[in-house]
Structure 1
Amino acid sequence: MIRVHGAGGAADVLVLGWDGETAPATGSLTTGGRLGLSPVPTLVWAVCLRAAWPQPERSPYPGGPFRRADIVSLCSQLGADGEAVKQAVDRTLPEAGLIAVDGDELRLGAAVAALPAVVVEGLRRGHHLLPAPLADARAGDGEPTSVVPPHEVPADAEPTHEMSDWYVLRSAIATLETARRPVPRGELLMLADPAMRAAVERALLPCGRQLRQTADGNWITGFCDPLADALVAEGVGTLAAVDRAVLALVLLHTVAIPRAQGRHRHNRWTGEAHTVTLAELASNRRISKAAMRAALRRLRAAGMVAEATTGRYLPGPALDRMSEARSNLLWEDLILVGRPDGQLAAAIRRRRGLDAPPGELPDGPTETDRM
């Protein structure tokens, strides 16, 4: 975990990434357990990286700003579908932390600062192959700019890894902690070994984290409940009131109501295709449409909300990180929101010691934040 100083006036952030001793060597872990990009986002990312990082001898982060229109134009000229390019620029790459968007100006995202040295050196080797954006294609009086030569790196610069139990353990933990979604059990076969599973749990415990298995048998990590309580008490990582309200509306429309209608019978938050649109959410007149749109962007970036298709929202993968006890508390929150004047809601409020009038959302952190 590293602290990244914000570029362009942005606030400092903390980022998880692979360290030099943990970054998977080729073949050590299957690719399904790591973040991967489809072809169009990969092309867009290459163009963005070249635009922000013209001199390979320097560090790629923070790099310089570049324009969205230049990226879209060049990728389209290279044969990529225009809509797919825009989706990569506006959603896929920002969600992965690879770029940051500020209107029409783009910058490299904080995840680039967390790239291990072995990855940066590999990018330097191939820097001359990155597509140059239109703004860099010509300089001065219209003459083409000089081509950046390949960056030479000594053959022994890339560290080698021994496939020791400790290395496998660290790689498994880093995969779980940085995965956007639960890691399929087939991608981390070492966790089928009780001894390795116990070693992972022991390594996570001092960090306040624990290993969890989803209902589908996949693997994920999350905060231990006592640490989650402590973070909420300190106001660290909690959601703003409008974000909590919008998340509650999404869960009501995509999980609670479909379950009440018999369209599914389990109590999981993800795994179903029930979606809700911004127009449906905006039927709640207490929150403006603009505020809802901004809240959905923040929730999507945090992984608490996802998009099945453009404009159709459903619960996000971060909800899979909750413990069973925390998940039950969130179900109780939905009861308090959906039917605040019912007997069950009254019993929940008495047990929690809440005195808030039915139907009013408290301003401070609630159990919903403790996920």
Structure 2
Amino acid sequence: MTSTASSGRDRSAERALAHARARSGGPLRLGAGVPAPAGMTRLTRPDSTGQALPVWPDGVTPSLLEEYQVAAVPVERAGETRRVLAATLKCCWRDLSVDPWPGDPAPVELVLDTYRALIGRTDDLMRNWARGALRRLHDSAWIVLDDGVVTLGPRCALWPVESHAQLQELVRRLPEPERPELTVVGDADIVAAAVLPLPGAGGRAELGVAEFDDLLGAYDERRRAELVAAYMVVEHAAEPVAEGRFAALRDPALRHTLGEMLARRGRVLIQLRERWTSGYDDAHTLDLTRPPVPAPAVVSVPEEEAVPAAVEEPAVAERAAGSGVVERAGLGVSERAVLTLVLVHSVAIPRAEGLLPEDSWLSPHPAPVEELRRHTQVPIGELESALRTLRHAGLLAQVKAGEEAGGYVPGPQFHRLTPAARRRLQEELILAAGPHTPLAAAVRARRSAQ
């Protein structure tokens, strides 16, 4: 009996870690024939390998936030990004009688031509914006770019069946691009010459084992809907939400069930006075900073998709990555260096001057861009790219200052730190900002004694 219970706890922990990894690093890679963890859809390729993506409870999507007038995480140049995704759908979903995913490969140039026909402009600026949108969509797994060819990404497989009719109407209304009859290389030749098999080419979606039915089944339809709404809001809202707006946050019994739902995905509820959000469970944060260990039920994430380990100590950004700050993995050396620099200038220095509370990670004191350029050895191009990546991930927010260049402050992801993670990150900041101070020596002594 004890062995069975222990085995069940181990499987639950593996499943929760798999969900945390999928949130941190994107779709999980699955070996041939390996099933997806509970609560995930398996996207199976022709060679029987696949990817696993978490599904939303009761078939809802993050668009539910609009019904409650709650702001989702902002997307930079959201209009261009949506239009480029629509153009990609137009080019890749050629047979509207079947599901949109996986669709067919299409040349990037055809997608750009379709985008130009959609907006009615052909200038270089719009082309550059479109290419930036393609990169953002690729990084977030909505599309897959490979050697000049684009395919629909795994997240497109999560579009509910009920939305397909609306998507079909959208595709029919999008204009066909005006293309020269004679081309140096035809579209079909471009696709055939691309590196195959494409990461997202071909396959089928297989619905996994339901995850929350045993928890939600105990409630009537109204309370079940309240739980699902609260779950989606704390997981996908840009800022913590007021508990007074959601019954599942006000009622202790419903809030307990909500906490159990989150726990199955490696997440926990985080209270900020009378507001709530969610973050990574402390039990899994250290595992998120290491390459995953293969397990029978959970296939490992490739090393390039895992949250990278620290390059050196102290590593503020690494602790951020493993403490609920980073919702999307893949931060490189430059990104971590720039994030650390912003935290030092916008949080550590103002706090040392008595301008910030001890436990605050929000700051009204932006780190000026010129200051960042002066105090980093990262090349200017890499610095700007790192700032853009950190801004997209919600780790930094840009503050405008009229005619001036403005600066950067910690982003909304810092709301998602648990109390234990806040303490760990505070220690890392002490070690980064003042490694030779008595306080840093005390931190190192306490850690060595543990």
TM-score, length basis structure 2: 0.58
Following superposition of structure 1 onto structure 2, how do residues 89-128 of structure 1 map, counting pairs within 5 Å?
89=133, 97-99=141-143, 108-128=152-172
Measure the CA separation in 2 of the matches of 1:108 and 1:273: 41
Measure the CA separation in 1 of the matches of 2:433 and 2:62: 46
| Contact persistence 2:242–2:275 (CA under 8 A) | yes
Alignment partner of 1:250 is 2:307: no
Following superposition of structure 1 onto structure 2, how do residues 26-37 of structure 1 map, counting pairs within 5 Å?
29-32=67-70
Alignment partner of 1:328 is 2:423: yes
RMSD of aligned residue pairs (Cα, Å): 4.4
Measure the CA separation in 1 of the matches of 2:242 and 2:80: 24
Measure the CA separation in 2 of the matches of 1:113 and 1:306: 31
- The one-letter amino acid of 1:172's match is A
| Contact persistence 2:227–2:254 (CA under 8 A) | yes
Measure the CA separation in 1 of the matches of 2:146 and 2:408: 23
Measure the CA separation in 2 of the matches of 1:190 and 1:214: 16
- Which residue number corresponds to residue 129 of structure 2? 86
| Contact persistence 1:335–1:345 (CA under 8 A) | yes
Partner of residue 316 from structure 1, selected from 401, 411, 420: 411
Deviation readout 1:196-224 (Å, 9 max, x if unpaired): 21220122234332111235x43221122
SS in 2 for 1:336: helix
SS in 2 for 1:173: helix
SS in 1 for 2:277: strand
- Which residue number corresponds to residue 361 of structure 2? 269
Alignment partner of 1:177 is 2:235: yes
| Contact persistence 1:276–1:314 (CA under 8 A) | no
Partner of residue 202 from structure 1, selected from 218, 239, 260: 260
CA 1:191–1:45: 2 relative to 1, 3 Å: same
- Which residue number corresponds to residue 158 of structure 1? none
- The one-letter amino acid of 1:70's match is D
Deviation readout 1:240-289 (Å, 9 max, x if unpaired): 53243332112112222233445544633236462443x54343454444
Alpha-carbon distance, 1:330 to partner:
0.8
- Which residue number corresponds to residue 51 of structure 1? 91
Measure the CA separation in 1 of the matches of 2:248 and 2:127: 36
TM-score, length basis structure 1: 0.68
Alignment partner of 1:350 is 2:407: no
SS in 1 for 2:89: helix
SS in 1 for 2:129: helix
- Which residue number corresponds to residue 213 of structure 1? 271
Runs of 5+ consecutive residues of structure 1 not aligned to the other structure: 143-161, 355-371
- The one-letter amino acid of 1:237's match is V
How many equivalent residue pairs?
326
| Contact persistence 2:350–2:365 (CA under 8 A) | no
State the percentage of identical aligned residues. Answer: 28
Deviation readout 1:321-360 (Å, 9 max, x if unpaired): 1111211211111111111111111111111129xxxxxx
Measure the CA separation in 1 of the matches of 2:407 and 2:151: 27
RCO (CA 8 Å, sep 6+): is it higher in 1 or 2? 2
- The one-letter amino acid of 1:314's match is V
Deviation readout 1:143-170 (Å, 9 max, x if unpaired): xxxxxxxxxxxxxxxxxxx944234323
| Contact persistence 2:226–2:247 (CA under 8 A) | no
- The one-letter amino acid of 2:166's match is G
| Contact persistence 2:434–2:440 (CA under 8 A) | yes
- Which residue number corresponds to residue 21 of structure 1? 59
Alignment partner of 1:283 is 2:374: yes
